[in-house]
Every structure is written in structure tokens, then in C-alpha cells.
Amino acid sequence: MKKLVLAGAVALAAGMVSQAAANDRYMARPPVVISPDLAAPWVIQLGYAPGKVLGREIGRPAAPASVQVQPYSSEPRFDYRYGEPARTLRQPTPDLQRTAAIVPAPAKKAKREIDPMYLPQQVSYEGSHKPGTIVIDTKQNFLYLVEAGGQARRYGVGTGKPGFEWAGTHKVTQKREWPDWRPPSQMIARERAKGRSLPSYMEGGPDNPLGARAMYLGSTLYRIHGTNQPWTIGGAVSSGCIRMRNEDVIDLYERVKVGATVIVS
């Protein structure tokens, strides 16, 4: 009899346990609590302070005042309590110190050179003029100093520009070193009409348009002279005078005597 009562009690208890287990399926579950120390780094990034679990306070204080909790955005946030943030790449910036030190070099002026064909040369000469005669070819812009043995010393010259060409035969009447310059009145008036003012007198020297030497031709206003513009040699550039480089006119000056014949063609 006791055995039957005990078996009935066990069956009743089992039934009650089964019913309670079945009822537990539909009961509300207690909240799952995660340690704030583990959840804080991730929860802060989502905009929540440590101590909140499933939206309910569990008595833990919020994040310290030194930690600024901001709403979630596209830029990740970091809690400095848990280490240093990863370094971000910055756009390269110009080297301002070196850039400021670089000063552009001033542009150099191109040096104007004489064409090598107009440099002094020893050439053959087949003309009938005697040695010591000067022959000037205004078409080719060459001056020949006739020498013995069918030879001549040739120099490049600048000659009269259009409207100032001339031809004829004259004598060297005088020679001067570093001559002064007195422009003729016609030249002064002509240049004034162009808006350029010429001095009535200029002392001889490196800036003087007549250059280092001058040989005067007869009673004319024309001369064989040097120039402070050597790049003009080889062209029709003067008001009728024969221009030479300063080094060339000095060389010719030493070779020619007063009274020498000058033929311009």
C-alpha cells in the first residue's frame, strides 16, 4: 500500500514539473547582464554609456566626464581609456620651408654674337689695286686691306642702311683714337622727328658710337670707325659710315697710313 502511495506521489510531482516546464516556455526571461568592462568599448561606439543593458540602468554610473559619448556617425569613435587610437593617414603637405627658399633665377639676356664669317680672315685677292688700298664691298659687307703677293686681309663691316648708301673713292685724311662725336645737324633733326634726342657733342669713350678708332674719308662726313654695337656687323645699319668691331678697327688702324686710298663700291 505504501508503495502505491509513493508511486502516486512521484507521478504527481513529475506531472507538476512537466507542467511547470511547459509554462516556462511562455514566461518572460530575465535580462542578460554583460559586464560593462567587456561591453564598454563597443557600447560607447553605439552611443550608450556603460552601465546600460538592453536600455535599462543596472546601477552602474555613466561614462566618466573625460569620455565624450557622441551619437553614431560614419566616423568611428574611440574610448581613450582602452588604448591609443590607430594613426590616420594625412594628406602630404608641401615643404613650405624649402619652397620659400627657392628663388627663381633672373632670366639671362641672350648674348648677341657676330656671325663668324665676318671675323678677320686672310684671303686671296685678284684685283689690280696696290698694297695698302682699302676696298669696301657694301653689297657683301666686307672690307679688304690689299696686301702684297695676291693676298688681302678681310674684315666684316656694317654699311649704310637703305637711303644712305653711297659709292666713291677717297683718301684717309686723318686718324683718331677714341674720337669724340659731333652729330651733323641733319642727323639731329632726323632723329628728333623720330622722337629721339641726340646730343650735340659726346666725348670719346666706350659709350661713344664711334668706338675705339676712326679714319676720316676726304672732306666727307663719313668715317671708318668702331662701334659699341658689334652685333650689327654684317648688316646695313649706319647713316653712311663704315662700322667695324672695336678690336678690328684697332687692328686696321695700325696697318693703314694717312693718305691711303679707300674705294667704296
Question: Which residues carry out catalysis?
Answer: 225, 241
Residue 231 is classified by DSSP as G
Alpha carbons 168 and 15: distance in angstroms, whole number: 151
Question: Residue 104 phi/psi, 5° resolution?
Answer: -60, 135
Q: How many helices (H) and strands (E) does the chain have?
A: 5, 13
By C-alpha distance, which of 155, 160, 202, 156 is closest to 179? 202
Cell numbers describing residue 146: 690689299
Q: Which amino acid is at 171?
A: K
Question: Rounded to an integer, what distance in angstroms lies between the CA atom of residue 126 and that of residue 128?
Answer: 7
Give the span between the Cα atoms of 32 and 211, in whole angstroms: 109
- The residue written with cell numbers 678690336 in the block is 247
Secondary element (H or E) of residue 214 = strand 213-217
CB crowding 170-183: b at 16 or more within 10 Å, else e: bebeebeebbebeb
